[in-house]
Chain A
Amino acid sequence: GAGVSQSPSNKVTEKGKDVELRCDPISGHTALYWYRQSLGQGLEFLIYFQGNSAPDKSGLPSDRFSAERTGGSVSTLTIQRTQQEDSAVYLCASSFWDNEQFFGPGTRLTVL
């Protein structure tokens, strides 16, 4: 079956612009996670959804970051007024309840 997909795969934007990243989880997976990974570094947790609700938003770096999930499926991560330090790979993962997570290929964001 289809895995987790993310779009776009690459995004180059100018400082100050808003960007929207999309994640399509595996069908039937209840949980969805967003992570950020800077070059050569580990995974930084951003936010986690169980269904459409986000019980844990503690990882969002600032109020410029927001995420939503609709219909218990697709999620979008929005970054407003992007800064150069936002440049990273943004990874999405989904799981069935608290079982192992399946990751998408990521969106590489470059803020000029």
Chain B
Amino acid sequence: GESVGLHLPTLSVQEGDNSIINCAYSNSASDYFIWYKQESGKGPQFIIDIRSNMDKRQGQRVTVLLNKTVKHLSLQIAATQPGDSAVYFCAEQTSYDKVIFGPGTSLSVIP
């Protein structure tokens, strides 16, 4: 199988601070990128996506940045809250092809 992580990297942030989660993707032909949030015991949940013709997209408290030059994706969470504690996965996809998930980052919010 692909994209099996070993030990998840962990990011700890203070409640109220901004969080930045980074992801390097592998396929320069990928044209669709997604961030998922997975809480303990649940399946991944869609947060935000971005197409390759954009470099920034904003949602509610979340912003995704795409740098195609260096194949880098980031998720910014503003005013991080305890409910944001979860594992965050980036994913890349080429049109009509399978999605490839990154290894995930565990975000821990300190009250």
Contacts and interface: CB of A to CB of B under 8 A. Distances in A.
Interface of A: 4, 33, 35-36, 38, 40-46, 48, 50, 56, 58-59, 61, 91, 93, 97-98, 100-106
Interface string B1-27: 111111110000000000000000000
A59 B1 CA distance: 4
B48 to A, nearest CB: 9
Interface residues of B, number: 29
A91 B2 contact: no
Contact of B98 (A45, A102, A103, A104): A45
A41 B44 contact: no
Interface string B69-111: 0000000000000000000010001011111111110000000
Given A33-B99, A56-B98, A101-B99, A45 B3 contact: yes
B98 A50 contact: no
Contacts of A91: 43-44
Contacts of B104: 41-43
B66 interface: no
B98 A42 contact: no
B43 A42 contact: no
Contact of A50 (B1, B5, B42, B96): B96
Contacts of B96: 50, 97-98
Nearest to B95: A98
A59 B100 CA distance: 11
Contact of A100 (B7, B46, B97, B101): B46
Question: Of B42, B96, B99, B104, which is in contact with the most chain A CB atoms at under 10 Å from its CB?
Answer: B99
B60 to A, nearest CB: 16
B46 A33 contact: no
Contact of A42 (B42, B99, B102): B102
